[in-house]
Structure 1
Amino acid sequence: MWFKNLQIYRLPAPWNYTPEQLEKALEPQSFVPSESNELLRQGWDAPRPNGGLVHTVNKQMLIMLGTEKKLLPASVINQVAKAKAAELEEQQGFPPGKKAMKDLKERVADELLPRAFTLRSNVWTWIDPVNGWLVVDAASPAKADDVVKLLLKAVDKMPLESLRVQKSPVAVMTGWLEADEAPYGFTIDQDTELRATGESRAAVRYVKHTLEPDDIRRHIAAGKQCTRLAMTWNDRISFVLTESLAIKGVKPLDVIKEGESPTYNDEERFDNDVVLMTGELAKMLADVVDALGGEAKA
């Protein structure tokens, strides 16, 4: 298993918090399936079937936030409420007023909720206590925030901070494109986004398209800056670096897959993937930070 999108946070390195301590801290917020009248339920779930809340491989920890959400579209509520309002109007000779209609919609929602379709989703988090990384596999900051808020609630005084670097990712990525030169260990791929900083917010996107240096420089000279840039690290992992310092579209390349050890069952394959992923990503993240001028200290 490989994380696809990285929302990146920092812990002290080393972080002297054992898997047993983390397991105990998460237990009060364990995931329990939602009741029939609940719209949303979240909690920590076991990363592996029949396992604990913290899965540890080679000192690396994996945890998983489980979410169950009932899907009850407002259009469905409105449709049923409208039909019931028509029945009431026929019975009493006049349509329900504004307050009565609001109460009617609330009753309809309560009636429909037990029959609503339940959507289950999981958000994985990797904790590297050796190198001080905490990475949430989430495409949006909002999903990562759900994980972080619940984690900070579970672990008292957890020394967690957002990753901060010395140089602006936008300025640095723009400089790489303008110079047509990636930092050592990286190559620039064929996807990027250049966006104007003025009110127009005009944007140019390249998707699987050769980035011609002269064209890129013209866009930069016109006031556009790079907000997303596809790159490859050491011919091993491709990804997209964003202006917010999130890393998206992570993909291990064939050179990594060729080095995988033979395994005999799902558990071994999973653990081997975790060892490989965490080892490679820890090195890659360190190189990304170095390419952006190093970490910004408080």
Structure 2
Amino acid sequence: MTWFNNATLFRLTDAPDAIRLSEALAKRPFQPCMGLDWFSEGWVAPAIHLEEPVFATRGHMLVSLLREDKVLPPAVIRKAVDALVAEIEAKELRKVGRKERLALKDQVTDDLLPRAFAKPSRVPALMAGGWLIADTGSAPRAEALVSKLREALPPFPAALPRTQIVPRTAMTDWLAAGEAPGAFELDEDAVLKDGSENGAEVRVSRINLTSDEIRQHIATGKQATKLGLIWNEKIRFQLTDTLQLKRIQWLGVLQDEASQAGDDRESLFEATFILMSEELGELVEALVEALGGLEDSQARPGAVSTTPAPMPVMSTP
């Protein structure tokens, strides 16, 4: 089990049934890029020792979307087109025009694409406690994962969370006060940006965020768009103004705890997943609370359960 490095959050208004979801994703498996396809994506088992596309235990689920992109650099296409143009001009003693050159580019692309290198990438995601958490710092890739879930099991009601206090305002206030709320503490890195259209941006790293230098930047109107935080002395991460968690570092105490679950692959995988999903879920709930809670439309009574619903365990026999 690989610990998540990033977290893009979605609020689930209804937890999907693990068995139904597994059956739906199994109908949309990953297929490698073929022929003239630029990319291909589909669902795979979350780990090599698993067979089903959904791993579920203790009310937590794990899925994995695999994407394959053809790598065909523009420079390679341009070089091939230039060689073909030179051959035509030398053989036919004429100048190749712009329209013909564009047609040659399409021809070259179609010739090269089936032989192009395919680059794979995965986006794992866990679901628990009313949250979908995707292990990616890319908003488009996270949205693509949710779209594929909706295709497999419509309507799949997941939405970006909206908090009472926007992250940029809260992070700036925390820096101005010299401390973060609750179990959070300021780390040593931040990005501050002027609010004007072409405002200056200041990046600081390995610096005391309670220093006068930081307060001076805030006094001149800059706001925090990214802030390094440590939660409960267990998880270090960067919070962004879009409510993403990036550069997550799981401090030693958690990894030591997971490693004590057993020596075999299956036991270690399950223990790591449970520990990671529970800790990450608690962090997200604490973070939302620090941001004043969710907006009423996402936090109305009965809209979202913050207690994981019981689900069957699904793993390889």
TM-score where L is the length of structure 1: 0.95
SS of 1:165 mapped into structure 2: coil
The residue that corresponds to 1:107 in the other structure is 107
Counterpart amino acid of 1:154?
A
Aligned partner of 1:28 in structure 2 is 27
- SS of 1:3 mapped into structure 2: coil
RMSD: 1.4
Aligned residues: 294
Q: Which has the higher contact order (CA 8 A, sep 6+)?
A: 2
1:60-139 alignment, distance < 5 Å:
60-128=60-128, 131-139=129-137
Say if 2:178 and 2:209, in contact at 8 Å, map to a contact too: no
Determine if contact 2:33/2:118 at 8 Å carries over to the other structure: no
Q: Which residue of 1 aligns with 2:5?
A: 4
Q: Which amino acid aligns with 1:104?
A: L
CA distance in 1, matches of 2:30, 2:85: 39
Cross-structure match for 1:195: 193
CA distance in 2, matches of 1:257, 1:53: 25
Q: Which residue number in structure 2 is paired with residue 57 of structure 1?
A: 57
Separation (CA, whole Å) in 1 of partners of 2:121 and 2:166: 33
Q: Which moved more, 1:220-229 or 1:97-106?
A: 97-106
Report the secondary structure of 1:158's partner residue.
coil
Quote the residue 1:232 is aligned against: 230
Pairing partner for 1:214 from 212, 217, 223: 212
CA offset at residue 218 of structure 1?
1.1
Residue range with higher mean Cα deviation, 170-179 or 249-258: 249-258
Which residue pairs with 1:204 in the alignment?
202
Note the C-alpha offset of 1:40. Answer: 0.8
Distance apart, 1:27 and its partner CA: 2.5
State the match for 1:280 in structure 2: 279
Gaps of 5+ in 2: 298-317
When structure 1 is superposed on structure 2, of 91-100 and 177-186 the one drifting more is 91-100
Superimposed CA distance per residue, residues 156-207 of structure 1 (whole angstroms, 9 cap, x where no aligned partner): 1212111110001111111111111210111111111111101332112111
- Distance in 1, matches of 2:281 and 2:263, equals 26
1:58 Cα deviation from its structure 2 partner: 2.0
- For 1:170, the equivalent position in structure 2 comes to 168
Once residues 229 and 281 of structure 1 are traced to their aligned partners in structure 2, the CA distance between those partners, rounded to angstroms, is 18
Structure 1 stretches (4+) deviating beyond 3 angstroms?
none
Kindly state the Cα deviation for residue 32 of structure 1 after the two structures are TM-superposed: 1.0
Please give the alpha-carbon distance, in whole angstroms, between the structure 2 residues aligned to 1:23 and 1:259.
29
What CA distance in whole angstroms lies between the structure 2 residues aligned with 1:127 and 1:88? 58
- Deviation of 1:286 after TM superposition, in Å, equals 0.5
3-state SS of 1:42 partner: strand
1:47 & 1:121 partners in 2: Cα distance? Answer: 13
Whether 1:39 aligns to 2:35 is no
Structure 1 counterpart of 2:110, which letter? Answer: D
Residues 261, 271 of structure 2: 8 Å contact kept: no
How far is 1:146 from its partner? Answer: 1.3
- Structure 1 stretches lacking a partner, 5+ long: none
Superposed, which structure 2 residues align to 1:154-165 within 5 Å?
A: 154-165=152-163
Taking the aligned partners of 1:285 and 1:83, their CA distance within structure 2 comes to 55
- Aligned partners of 2:156 and 2:210: how far apart in 1? 46
Secondary structure at the counterpart of residue 278 of structure 2: helix
Normalising by structure 2, what TM-score?
Answer: 0.89
Describe the SS at the equivalent of 1:29.
Answer: coil
Contact 1:44–1:64 under 8 Å retained in 2: yes
User: What SS does the aligned partner of 1:251 have?
Assistant: strand
Identity of aligned residues (%): 35
Q: Is the 8 A contact 1:178 1:213 kept in 2?
A: no
Tell me if the contact between 1:86 and 1:95 (Cα under 8 Å) persists in the aligned partners: no
> C-alpha deviations, 1:69-115, integer Å up to 9, x for none?
11111111111111111111122210222222111111111111122
SS at match of 2:199: coil
Q: Secondary structure at the match of 1:119?
A: strand
Quick one: distance in 1 between partners of 2:157 and 2:261? 38
Deviation at 1:262, TM superposition (A): 3.8
Following the alignment from structure 2 to structure 1, what is the Cα–Cα distance between the partners of residues 147 and 257?
37
Q: Secondary structure at the match of 2:40?
A: strand
Within 2, Cα distance between the matches of 1:207 and 1:140? 22
Q: Which residue of 1 aligns with 2:295?
A: 296
2:256 corresponds to 1:258: yes
Distance, in Å, in 2 between the alignment partners of 1:70 and 1:4 is 25
